């Protein structure tokens, strides 16, 4: 199929141009939750253990243990974690694309293998969320890599390496456990060496994973991380509720590719491969560009879906070209949805914080004078401000606070027991929010407490376009004037830069 050569060249060229355009525009962006991992890594390397606040109870406020350990390496060697985490993201993206090529080379010959790879590459790199999650500082792309690697070694029936990859995937995200058990189940169904395979899997995957959960339970006192309590078990994030079930479906559905690719099922209909683009298209109407469509909870599955779609294109061209129009229509639809993500690229590159010139960084540095005291900060943002300030911190969602995470909301008794010195209230206008219009209801108990105890409200700090932090200061705080002056200076800076 010589006609595929110029198309492949065009697709690769456009893919790289678009990706580097997105990458350059988003390079300064780091998602706030990445700083949660950075703070845990810093405390661990400093000899304080896996804790959020040095003087408080142990809490598992991170989701990915394997990503935390990778960040710990950077912290141990004194690297700039912002840059180091982005380079890790790029490394895992290259690994993901490597397995795209491995599949293309394995399943197709000559020009067609290059064409299939270029299609998968184009799908992946033309989505601006790929660049965004690559530089965001979290494990999103690493998990994408683990899923594609899991699929490859399952296809090759390399049980030992598959076990190692499954362990990495399971320690990277909880969904990795679902994908791993799905994969092993499909393999054991057709295996003629179940006992041998089970021994390998038990030794290299099941036992280490079980040991991890036992140690975690002993250390933290619970099996689930606090973000799981907050985001899934307590359903605290309303934007996730309508599509929460799709999160788990996404990480199982692409592994049905194994059924088709395995020689036992070579007579399966080609229509099975349309599960890739169809699952992508079905998911789209339930999503929005700002969160769910590119949300890190779902994005890793796109690598599998892009690969599945590209392979489906290759098989239809190879086996039966009469379906070419249908396949190309699906490809056009997928690309149309991909290019819609450019609106998010524009928003994130222009309006989201790019470090270090951000209000979150400025607030953190302004609070640094209180890092050696019993000063307690309360915010809804649990990342950059606590990381840069080094002060004790409680987040209103409970991402790092067991009391709030498990109970679902902070009680008045709990707030009174911790007596916050500073509460940063989130609002879309420069004033203390009213209860019936407050965008973050989990902050409301803290606002009521501050009003009841006569906290002082300062001018808002603009940290994202049209969104403010309203400082509420405990009047009994020592050196309260120093804090007021520092925060007032940050407020002025935020509205003039």
Q: Where are the domains of the chain?
A: 4-30+63-350, 359-496
State the Cα–Cα distance between residues 107 and 105, nearest whole angstrom: 6
Alpha-carbon span 491 to 493, nearest angstrom: 5
Residue with tokens 């002060």: 391
Could you tell me the two tokens for 415?
């707030």
Res 250: pLDDT: 55
Taking the C-alpha atoms of residue 140 and residue 63, their distance in angstroms, rounded to an integer, is 11
Strand 467-473 to 422-427 pairing: antiparallel
Cβ(92)–Cβ(144) below 8 Å: yes
The pLDDT, as a whole number, for residue 200 is 94
Q: What is the chain's percent helix, strand, coil content, to nearest 5?
A: 65, 5, 25
Name the phi and psi angles at 11, rounded to 5: -65, -45
Residue with tokens 């200076």: 489
Whether omega for the bond prior to residue 443 falls within 30 degrees of 0, making it cis, is no
Token pair listed for 344:
């998010």
Please list the alpha-helical segments (H only) found in 158-251.
Answer: 159-172, 175-190, 194-201, 207-220, 226-228, 244-250
Enumerate residue ranges in the chain where pLDDT < 50.
Answer: 235-243, 245, 259, 263-269, 288-292
Q: Which of 396, 399, 400 is closest to 446 using CA atoms?
A: 396
User: Is residue 458 helix, strand or coil?
Assistant: coil
Q: 277-309: per-residue pLDDT in tens?
A: 565 555 555 554 444 456 777 788 888 878 888
Please state whether 468 falls in left (phi above 0), alpha (psi between -120 and 50) or beta.
beta
**Contact predicate 420/391, CB 8 Å:** no
């Amino acid at each position: 199929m010589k006609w595929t050569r110029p198309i492949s060249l065009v697709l690769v060229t456009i893919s790289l141009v678009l990706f580097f355009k997105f990458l350059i525009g988003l390079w300064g962006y780091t998602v706030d939750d990445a700083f949660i991992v950075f703070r845990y890594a810093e405390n661990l390397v400093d000899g304080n253990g896996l804790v959020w606040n040095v003087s408080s109870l142990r809490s598992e406020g991170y989701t990915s243990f394997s990503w935390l350990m990778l960040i710990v390496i950077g912290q141990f060697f004194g690297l700039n974690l912002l840059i180091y985490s982005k380079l890790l993201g790029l490394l895992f993206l290259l690994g993901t694309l490597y397995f795209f090529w491995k599949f293309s080379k394995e399943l197709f010959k000559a020009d067609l293998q290059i064409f299939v790879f270029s299609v998968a590459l184009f799908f992946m790199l033309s989505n601006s969320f790929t660049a965004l999650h690559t530089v965001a500082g979290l494990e999103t792309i690493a998990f994408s890599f683990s899923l594609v690697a899991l699929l490859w070694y399952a296809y090759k029936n390399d049980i030992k390496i598959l076990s190692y990859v499954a362990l990495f995937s399971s320690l990277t995200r909880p969904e990795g456990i679902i994908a791993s058990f799905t994969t092993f189940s499909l393999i054991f169904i057709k295996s003629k060496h179940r006992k041998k395979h089970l021994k390998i899997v038990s030794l290299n995957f099941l036992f280490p994973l079980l040991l991890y959960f036992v140690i975690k339970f002993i250390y933290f006192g619970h099996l689930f991380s606090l973000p799981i309590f907050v985001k899934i078990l307590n359903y605290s994030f309303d934007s996730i509720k309508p599509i929460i079930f799709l999160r788990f479906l996404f990480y199982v559905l692409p592994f049905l590719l194994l059924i088709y690719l395995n020689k036992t099922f070579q007579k399966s209909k080609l229509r099975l491969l349309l599960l890739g683009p169809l699952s992508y298209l079905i998911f789209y109407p339930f999503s929005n560009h700002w969160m769910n469509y590119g949300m890190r909870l779902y994005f890793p599955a796109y690598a599998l879906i892009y690969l599945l779609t590209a392979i489906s294109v290759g098989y239809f061209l190879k086996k039966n070209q009469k379906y070419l129009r249908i396949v190309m229509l699906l490809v056009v639809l997928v690309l149309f949805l991909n290019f819609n993500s450019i609106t998010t690229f524009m928003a994130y590159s222009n309006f989201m914080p790019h470090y270090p010139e951000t209000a979150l960084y400025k607030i953190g540095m302004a609070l640094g004078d209180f890092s050696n005291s019993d000063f307690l900060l309360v915010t809804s943002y649990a990342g950059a401000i606590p990381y840069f300030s080094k002060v004790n911190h409680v987040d209103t969602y409970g991402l790092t606070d067991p009391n709030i995470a498990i109970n679902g909301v902070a009680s008045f008794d709990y707030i009174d027991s911790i007596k916050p010195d500073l509460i940063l209230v989130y609002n879309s206008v420069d004033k203390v929010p009213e209860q019936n219009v407050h965008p973050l209801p989990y902050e409301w108990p803290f606002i009521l407490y501050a009003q009841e105890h006569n906290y002082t409200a300062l001018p808002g700090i603009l940290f994202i376009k049209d969104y403010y932090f309203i400082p509420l200061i405990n009047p009994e705080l020592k050196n309260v004037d120093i804090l007021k002056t520092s925060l007032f200076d940050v407020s002025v800076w935020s509205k003039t830069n």
